Every structure is written in C-alpha cells, then in structure tokens.
Homo-oligomer: A and B are copies of this chain.
Amino acid sequence: MATSATTIEKAGKTARDAGIMLSAKSEDQRNRALQAIADALDQSRSEIIAANEKDIEKGKSDNLSDPLLKRLRFDDKKIDGIIKGISELIHLPDPLGKTLKATELDINLNLYQVTTSIGVIGVIFESRPDAFVQISTLCLKSGNAVMLKGGKEALLTNRKLFEIINNASQNAGMPEGWIYNLESRENVNAILDLDDYIDLIIPRGSNAFVRYIMDHTRIPVMGHSDGICHVYIDADADLKKAIDISLDAKTQYVSVCNAMETLLIHRSVAPSILPELKAAFDKAGVRLIGDENVRAIISADTATETDWKTEYLDYVLSVKIVNDLNEAIDHINLFGSGHTDAIITENMDNAGRFCSLVDSADVFVNCSTRFADGYRYGFGAEVGISTSKLHARGPVGLDGLVSYKYILIGDGQIVADYADSQKQFTHRLIDNKYPL
C-alpha cells in the first residue's frame, strides 16, 4: 500500500513539530509513556501474535528461508524480551537536558551546552519485528520523532505494533505524529527527499543498500558499510588466548559485522601457532585461505588481494603472515573497514601502538572482536554501529541519538561593549547546571 509523496511530506512536517514537543516532555512523562507502551504490548499479545502468524504464513508461501522466518517470528518469548527491554530503557539515565559544559563568559553571562534530541530520525531496517519496538522506544526515550520502514515480510506485525505504540504513547500524553510507519519501498525514496524535516537517516541492511541511501539523500546518514574485522597475533602473544579469541571471533556467529574476516600473524610465532590454529578451525568447519608464507606451514587455499577486502560472513577466513607490528597496522588501515580490530599481545607497548594507530571505531586488546555491540558495551540497546567518524562512532545507543544546544543567559549584555574593550570576557569554566 504505497502512500503518496505528499502524504509522506506532510507526515515529515508533522513529525518535525511533534519532535520539538516530545523533546520538551519531562523525563518522567517520557518514562510513563514507555511504561504505557510496555503494558499495551503485554495486553495485546494475542493480536500481535495473530498478525505475525499471517506474516509467517505469507513468508512460507513466498518460500522465505528458515533463518529469515525465524527472525520474523514474534512469539510470547520475544514479546517478553521486548517488554523487559523497555523496562531496562526506563531505568537508563535521561539523555536529554544534561549540562555538558558551563562557562562564565562574563559576570551574569553564563553559557550552557545542554543535550537535546536530534529531531526526526528515519530508520530503515530488516524484517525483525522486535527492531520496530526497540528503535521506536529508543527514539521516544531520547525525545526524537521517528519514521520507520521495516522489512516488507513483517508488514502486518509492524502495522499492529505501530498501532499499539502510537495509541498507548498518545494516551500517555505524547504528541500526535511523533511516530510514523512507512509501508512501501516508494515511501523510502520519498523520505530521502525530506531534508527540511528529517535530521538523520539510519539504514540497516546490506552494504549495497547503505551505499544506495548515502548516494540518494542530502540528509546525514549513520551506518556502517563493511565489517572487515581483523585479529593480529603479535610476537608477544599468549598463544592460548590467541587461539581461543581467534576461534570465538570467527565462529561464535559468522554472519555478523563484528566477526573476524582476516587473521594476521607475526612471522616469529606463525610456525608454532599455525598448525594448532588449523586443527581448531578444521574442527569448527572453517575454510582457510592463506598467503604463500602461510601455505609454506599449513595447507590452505591461495589468497589473492581480493581476499583482504572481502567480508565473507561465512565459515571462511583469510590468513596472512606479517613481518612486524607496523605491517599489521598498515594492512588493517589499508584493507579494513574501520569497524573492529584486535591485537593479541602481552606487550603493552605494542598494544598501545596498535590502539593508537589502527584507525577503527573499536580497537581491542586480548579479547574477541564479537564484543563490539551496544548491549555488550552496556548501552542497553543500540540503533546500529557506525563506521563514520562524525557524530557517533562504533555501537550507537541513546548517547548517539542526542545533539546539544548552547544556551546563553545574560542580563542585557551587548557585543558592542566587548568589541570596544569596555568589557572583557572572563571565560571561566563553572560547575553550574543549566538552571531553566
């Protein structure tokens, strides 16, 4: 059911106004609305599950794959999970109205840098109905209006979830139009033009999809393209840690962006560790692709330059021997995607150099790349992972959904007095919180 571009534009304008009203709601009001949503979801379980059953039936007749159907399924256990998630979100500190910095510019002229919501956020995401609830409640908590486009396979489930969230939040005093549900691909193209109303687009999906969005909008886009993550086993590595971490980083969940795709090994430890690594990866069903130095020690398929740039998202691993720490760093900065890279070493000078020079969002010492995740970082939930270096980098939770404004409170000061040197700025950091 495509909606006209004019309707979408109107919804964008309404969302902009609603976002301003929403951001002015108190922490308590926003938390009470979140609780009302959780209660409504709890009371509407049978309706949600019935809508989801229809999506599942359609998915089956459309021959969706089993993993996709599994992600699409929204049962009592998943509803328990999202209600628990909302409860945790309610208890997270308010991201709005925090005084980041206060400066006395002159006597009775105080500048406050205060966190605010961003405004309107457009989110385009995959066919997991739980994502619909997570994203909309994160936006409500952070005072942002949101326009959501979920996967088409979850059409009826998302429509029902929208209806429940929209009604419950409005009954709890949230402004009309703070949440808008988009139902067709054409609607996605319509929101890409709304740079007057939408402040940020978060696309979740394939690299090609994220690139497409970036190429077709003037609105800032937050997301990640590739996840080409590395583990580097240093000359001073603890070999047991090296094997455990490599195995976890590759095989704990192969199809995710923070899984390892390339293993780099210092030449001094390669002969001793490679046979043991091969045995472990063979057992886990991982196919190894190696450069010629690797293949001089173990059997592996032949790596070409393409392998260093490939995100396999599968039980496949490219392996390369490097001469030293610097070669490992250079390889990662050249072929990596700025997502997550780890060093295994007991030498903290080497660890420090690696952390300083590897230009990635997440840089790890002696632990698995799979830890790069909003939940594991303690953010409660995440809207996505950013490999951009602007605004938010790495896993993005509530803190990535806020902006700030500068509020200057005076008692009649004019610039002419300072331009004439009749008055001087004091520029003194103060401890005050924003008082209004």
Interface contact A415-B371, CB-CB below 8 Å: yes
Residues 1-40 of A, flagged 1 when their CB comes within 8 A of B and 0 if not, give 0000000000000000100110110000000000000000
Evaluate whether A404 and B393 lie within 8 angstroms (CB atoms) in the complex, with A351-B409, A376-B425, A378-B105 already known.
yes
A interface size (C-beta, 8 A): 77
Give every chain B residue within 8 A of A247 (Cβ-Cβ).
414
Evaluate whether A370 and B415 lie within 8 angstroms (CB atoms) in the complex, with A333-B20, A390-B199 already known.
yes
Whether a CB of chain B sits under 8 angstroms from the CB of A69 is no
**Chain B residue at smallest Cβ distance from A364:** B408
Evaluate whether A244 and B412 lie within 8 angstroms (CB atoms) in the complex, with A20-B357, A377-B105 already known.
yes
Whether a CB of chain B sits under 8 angstroms from the CB of A111 is yes
Interface contact B214-A405, CB-CB below 8 Å: no
Interface contact A412-B111, CB-CB below 8 Å: no
Whether a CB of chain B sits under 8 angstroms from the CB of A310 is no
Whether a CB of chain B sits under 8 angstroms from the CB of A45 is no
Interface contact A366-B241, CB-CB below 8 Å: no
Q: What is the bound-complex CA distance between A276 and B135, given in angstroms?
A: 53
Interface residues of chain A: helix, strand, loop or mixed (majority): mixed
Interface contact B366-A411, CB-CB below 8 Å: yes
Interface contact A119-B389, CB-CB below 8 Å: yes
Q: What is the bound-complex CA distance between A414 and B372, given in angstroms?
A: 12
Give every chain B residue within 8 A of A200 (Cβ-Cβ).
389-390
Q: What is the bound-complex CA distance between A248 and B405, given in angstroms?
A: 22
Interface contact B391-A436, CB-CB below 8 Å: no
Interface contact A390-B220, CB-CB below 8 Å: yes
Whether a CB of chain B sits under 8 angstroms from the CB of A355 is yes
* A interface residues with partner B (beta carbon < 8 Å): 17, 20-21, 23-24, 103, 105, 109, 111, 116, 118-119, 199-200, 214-215, 218, 220, 222, 238, 240-241, 244-245, 247-248, 252-253, 333, 348, 351-352, 355-357, 359-368, 370-372, 376-378, 388-391, 393-395, 403-416, 418-419, 425, 427, 436
Q: List 22 A-B contacts (CB under 8 A).
A: A17-B333, A20-B357, A23-B356, A24-B357, A105-B371, A105-B377, A105-B378, A116-B389, A119-B359, A119-B389, A199-B389, A244-B414, A252-B414, A348-B436, A362-B407, A362-B408, A364-B409, A366-B410, A367-B414, A370-B414, A391-B391, A393-B403
